[in-house]
Amino acid sequence: MPMNYFSELVNNKILVSTVLGWLVAQVLKTILHTIVNKKFVAERLVGTGGMPSSHSATVCGLTTAVCVICGPGSPEFAVSAAFAIVVMYDALGVRRQAGEQAKVLNQMLDSFHKMGDTDISPEERLKEFVGHTPSQVVVGALIGILIALLVCNVL
């Protein structure tokens, strides 16, 4: 029974597309961050924000695989497409703004720290990599779509 369960999981093209979309985006994000900053930061392997959007890659991998397997007229596709829209809209909106606000607040904390007017240490900074720019979302979406098409043997 356990072997059958594992076999069903790894042969589930929808799940594999979803997970691979996330994984590929996270690895690419880490590589790009290392190239740009000339420093490896392990947190980027699981962290949010940055290029490409792993949220977009994940939900677009899911939605594309559902479309291929269940069809564009299926209720499953409708649910996954709606879910993808909400996730990507949130990454561009609220989460992106939260990241921008974190940058400003961290700059303020740095200034206060230099003046000795705060007990908050520089290590207690707010996370700035939270949301995404439109290009980060588009690239993530394209990665998810491509991965799902490959996994589902469409390409």
pLDDT tens string 50-87:
889 999 999 999 999 999 999 999 999 999 999 999 99
CA dihedral sign, ordered 27, 30, 35, 36: positive
3-class secondary-structure state, position 80: helix
Are 88 and 141 a contacting pair, CB within 8 Å?
yes
pLDDT surpassing 90 at residue 22: yes
**Alpha carbon distances (Å) from 149 to 4, 105, 110, 142, 144:** 25, 42, 46, 11, 9
| % the chain with pLDDT above 70 | 78
Are 15 and 66 a contacting pair, CB within 8 Å?
no
Work out the average pLDDT over 123-144. 80
Distance CA 155, CA 147 (A): 9
Tens-digit pLDDT profile for residues 105-128: 767 777 766 766 666 665 566 566
